[in-house]
Amino acid sequence: MQLCTQLATHSDTYMKKPFIALFFQVIVLFSTITCLSGQTTRYTISGYIYEKGSRETLVGANVYEPNFRIGSTSNTYGFYSITLPADSVEVIFSYVGYVPVIKELVLTENLRIDIELDPSLDLQEVVVTDERLTRISQTAQMSRLDVPIQQARNIPSLLGEKDMFKVLQLMPGVQSGTEGTSGFYVRGGGPDQNLIILDDAIVYNASHLFGFFSVFNGDAVKNMQLFKGGFPARFGGRLSSVLDIQMKDGNKQKFTGEGGIGLISSRLTLEGPIIKDKASFLISGRRTYLDALTRPFMSDDGFGGYFFYDLNSKINFDIDPNNRIFVSSYMGRDKFFFKDEYKGQGFEDSSEGGLFWQNTTATVRWNHIFSDRLFANASFVFSDYLLEIYSKERYKDLIYNETSAFDLTYNSGIQDVGLKYDLSWHPRSNHHVRAGMQFLHHRFTPSAIVLRNEDIGRFERNAEVHRSLESGIYLEDEISFGDYLKINPGLRFSHLYTDGKTYQYLEPRFNSNLVIYPQVSWKASFAAMSQYVHLLSTTGIGLPTDLWVPTTKKIAPQRTWQVATGFAWDWLARNLEFSVEGYYKESTDIIGYKEGASFLFIEDPENAEEFSWEDNITSGDAWAYGLEFLIQRKAGRFSGWIGYTLSWIEHQFDDLNFGEKFWARYDRRHDISLVGIYEVSEGITFSATWVYATGNAIDLGTGRFPVITHPVTVNDEGNQGNNPWWYSANVYDKKNSFRAASYQRLDVGLQFHKDITRFGYPVKRTIELGAYNAYSRKNPFFYYWEDRMIYNDYGYETNRKLMQVSIFPIIPSITVNFKF
C-alpha cells in the first residue's frame, strides 16, 4: 500500500499533462490491482552489484534464493530488487566468471545491500550454481545474444583489431555483408534495420575504414546485447535488431589503464576515481597511424592517406545512494584524402579531394531510486552523423595567364536530439514491470551539393532539411508463474510527425518460456515493429556513402512482424547451453535504390533541381525465415561456440526485377561458425575461428544482346526510318540469380600473457600473434567480366571470362596489449 501511495503521489504531479497523465494512470491502475493481491508479508532487498576492485556495475548479474525459488537480475545500471517472504533467506549473488557471494539474512524489513563480486575466478574452476535466471532455459527473453566481451578479446581478428561487430557476425542469425565489412544483417534485415545504441544514444554509421572495422573500442565497452527477435516493448524504431551497448563507468577505486599497439592503430584507455567510491571518469581513444608513417615517403607534390580516430569519454557521479548522474560521449572520424600538383611547361595543375565521415554522440543520464522496488532513468541524448565528399581542381595557363577551377562539395547528415524516461518496478517477486516514453527529434540533410565550374558558373543545391519528431510509449511486464512458465507481454505505441503528416502504430510484443523438462524449455515470441528512418545502400555493401533518409509524405515507414519459437537446454554438468530457434518475418515498405540510381548524380547541373533522392528510391516487401542453432560454453578452460543458420530472404519491389520476387543480395542459405578459445596454460591462450557460408546472391550479366529501339524520325517519303538504333547490352537472368562462391575462413591467434614491471608499476602484458584467413582462401569480393581476344584463321573473336576479385589473403598480425 505504501508503494501504491508513492505512485499515486507522483502521478498527481503530472496530471496537468494529459499524455503523461494517461501513462501514469495506467501504471497506478496496474499497481493497485497488484498491490491488493497477496497477503503474505514480504520484504525487498535491493541495491547495486559491482565488480570488486573497480566498482564497475555488473549488468545481468543473478540474484537467487534457492529455498523459495525466487530470483531476479540486475538491470543495465547494475541495480537489482528481489522481494522475499519475511523469513530466513539465503540469497546467492552470482555472475559468470565471478566468485559468487552468498548472504544469509533474516528479513524483518526492507534492506539495501550493495554487493561486490570478485572477478578473480580461477580459470580451472567451473562454478556450477543454481543460477537459474542467467540460464538460457530460464529466461523469458528469446532471440537474445549476450556478446561475451571477455571472450571477444581472445578471438583472433583482422590485423589484430578487436571488433565487437565481427564477433557478432560469428553468431547464428547474424551475417556479414561483403568480405571484411563490419555491417551486419540480422534475420534478413539490412544494415539500416539495426538499432545501435551506445549509452542510449543512436549511432548511425558504426564503421571505420569503409566498413572494415566498427567504431566500438572494446576497451571501453562493458556490456553488449543483441536482440534478434522477441523485442521487449522498451525498444523500438528498427525492424531487425537492437544492439544495446553500455560503456564502462570508470574505476571508482584506483587509477588504471590499458591499451595496445597494433599494426594499423593504437589505443589507450584511462580510468580512475574523481572522488573515491563516488565519482569516476573513463577516457578511451584509438587512432590509426598509417598516414603518419607513410607521409615522409611521399613528396609534397603528391600525397594521400587515410586515418580514423575515435574517442569515448564518460564521467559518473553518485550524488547520494539513490541518485546517480552519468555523462558520456563518443566522437569518431574517418578521413580519406589525396593531393596532387604538377607543373609542366607553361601550366600548373593541382587537384585535391577526399571524403570524411564522423559520428558524435552525447548522453546525460540520471538514475533515481524511488524505493526498493522502483527504479527510474532519465536520459538526454544527442547524436550527429555527417558525411562530406570534396574535390577541387585548379588549372593555370602561365602563358596566357588564364585559370580554370572546379569545386565540388557534397554533404549529407542526420542529427538527433531526444529525451527518454524509463521506469523499472518490481511490485512482487513474480512481476517485473517496465514502462517509459521516448521523444526524438530528427534533422536530416539527405544531400547538398555545391558545384563551381568556370563553364557553368556556380551551382548550388541547398541542403533539403527534413525534420521529424518520433516518439514512443511502452509498457511491459515480465511475469513468472512458478518455476515453469514465464511470459513477457508488452505494448508499444509509436508515433511520427513529419511534413505535416502523422504516422502511428501499435506494436504488440510477447515473449514466453515454458520449462518442459529440467533445464529444457520451449520458447515463443511475437513482435511488431516500425521504422521511421531508412538507409539507402547501394548494393548493400555498407559504404560510408550510404544515405540516411527520413520517412516523408511520399516515403512510408517500414514495418514488420516476426514470430519465433524454439527450445533451449542448459547442460549444467558441462556448462553448455544449446538453443534452436525458428523464425518467420514479413516486412513491408522496405526501401532500396531504383535500378541504376546513385546517391550523387549530376549529369546536367542546370537541371539538377529536378533530381531528388525521393525519386530515386522504390519500396517493396520482404520475407525472411530460417532456423538457428547454437551450442555455447561461456566459461572454463575451453570456451567458445558453434553456430549454424539456415535461412531464406526474398524481396519484391514493383520497380525492380519487373515486379517479380527475387533473392536479397545478402541471402546466404547456410552459415556456420566455429569459435574456440583454449587456455593452454596460465600464460598462453590459443584461439581459432572457422566460418563457412554459401555464396550470396548477385546480379551478374550473363551475355550480350543487340538492343533495337524504335526509330521515330521519318525519311523523305514520309516513312519512319528504315534503320533502327542498335545498341549492345547485358543479358541478365532473374535479379540476383547468380550465386557467388562460398565463403570460408580460418583465423588463429596465440596470446602470451605475462606480468611485468615498468617504471615501478605492475603491468599485465599480452603479446598476440594472429593470422587472418590462415589458409589464404580466395573469398570473392566482387566479380566482373573480362574481355578476351581469341585469334584464329579468320581474324579474331571475343569472349569473356568471369573474374573474381579477392582482397584479403593470409594477413598475420602482432599486437602488444597492456593493462596497469
592-631 residues near other proteins, rule: CB under 8 A:
592-598, 603
Among 342, 484, 517, 784, binds other proteins (CB under 8 A): 784
- Minimum distance from residue 548 beta carbon to other proteins (Å): 18
Residue 39, interface with other proteins (CB under 8 A)? no
528 neighbors 507 (Cβ within 8 angstroms) = yes
Choices 105-113, 150-158, 337-345, 654-662; region in contact with other proteins by CB under 8 A: 654-662
Task: Quote the cell numbers at residue 730.
Answer: 547485358
Span 542-571, contacts to other proteins by CB under 8 A: 543
Among 719, 757, 759, 760, binds other proteins (CB under 8 A): 719
Q: Is 735 in the site for other proteins (CB under 8 A)?
A: yes
Give CA–CA dist 653/617, Å, rounded.
11
Work out whether 250 is an interface residue with other proteins (CB under 8 A).
no
Examine residue 724 and tell whether it contacts other proteins (CB under 8 A). yes
Q: How many CB atoms lie within 10 A of CB 125?
A: 11
What is the Cα–Cα distance from 241 to 225, expressed in whole angstroms? 10
Other C-beta atoms lying within 10 Å of the C-beta of residue 12: 12
Under rule CB under 8 A, residue 489 binds other proteins: no
Note whether 769 binds other proteins by CB under 8 A: yes
- 8 Å CB contact between 466 and 552: yes
**Residue 716 binds other proteins (CB under 8 A):** yes
Through-space distance between the first and last CA atoms of the chain, rounded to whole angstroms = 51
Task: Work out whether the CA dihedral 534, 535, 538, 542 comes out positive or negative.
Answer: negative
Binds other proteins (CB under 8 A): choice among 109, 731, 759, 760: 731
Binding of residue 742 to other proteins (CB under 8 A): yes
* DSSP string of 106-147, one letter each residue: E-SS-EE--EEEB----TT-------GGGSTTT-S--SEEE-
- What length does the chain have? 820
707 binds other proteins (CB under 8 A): yes
Find the shortest distance in angstroms from Cβ 97 to other proteins: 30
- The answer to the question of residue 797 lying near other proteins (CB under 8 A) is yes
Contact between 757 and other proteins by CB under 8 A: the answer reads no
What distance in Å separates the CA atoms of residue 99 and residue 121, rounded to the nearest whole number?
Answer: 6
Q: Rounded to an integer, what distance in angstroms lies between the CA atom of residue 477 and that of residue 426?
A: 9
Using alpha carbons, select from 445, 460, 457 the residue that is nearest to residue 599. 445
Q: With binding defined as CB under 8 A, does residue 16 bind other proteins?
A: no
**Binding residues among 121-160 for other proteins as defined by CB under 8 A:** none
DSSP 586: E
Pick from 730, 756, 762, 764: which binds other proteins (CB under 8 A)? Answer: 730
Q: Which stretch binds other proteins (CB under 8 A): 361-369, 422-430, 666-674, 706-714?
A: 706-714
CB of 161 to other proteins, least distance (A): 17
740 binds other proteins (CB under 8 A): yes
Contact pattern from residue 194 through residue 233 relative to other proteins, giving x for each residue in contact according to CB under 8 A and a dash for the rest: ----------------------------------------
Asked if 40 touches other proteins (CB under 8 A), the answer is no
Q: Smallest gap, in angstroms, from Cβ of residue 627 to other proteins?
A: 25
Residue 456 interacts with other proteins (CB under 8 A): yes or no: no
Find the binder of other proteins among 700, 746, 747, 749 (CB under 8 A): 700
The C-alpha cell at 200 is 542510449
DSSP secondary-structure letter at 716?
T
> Dihedral through CA 805, CA 603, CA 732, CA 697, nearest 10?
50
Site for other proteins in 260-319 (CB under 8 A): none
**Interaction of residue 782 with other proteins, rule CB under 8 A:** yes
Q: Per CB under 8 A, does 401 bind other proteins?
A: no
Residues 724 and 710 sit within 8 Å (Cβ to Cβ): yes
Among 395, 732, 818, 820, binds other proteins (CB under 8 A): 732
What cell was used for 14? 503530472
Sorted by sequence, the CB contacts under 8 Å of residue 612 that are 6+ apart come out as none
Residue 783 engages other proteins in binding (rule: CB under 8 A): yes
CB closer to other proteins out of 406 and 732: 732
Q: Return the SS3 of 524.
A: strand
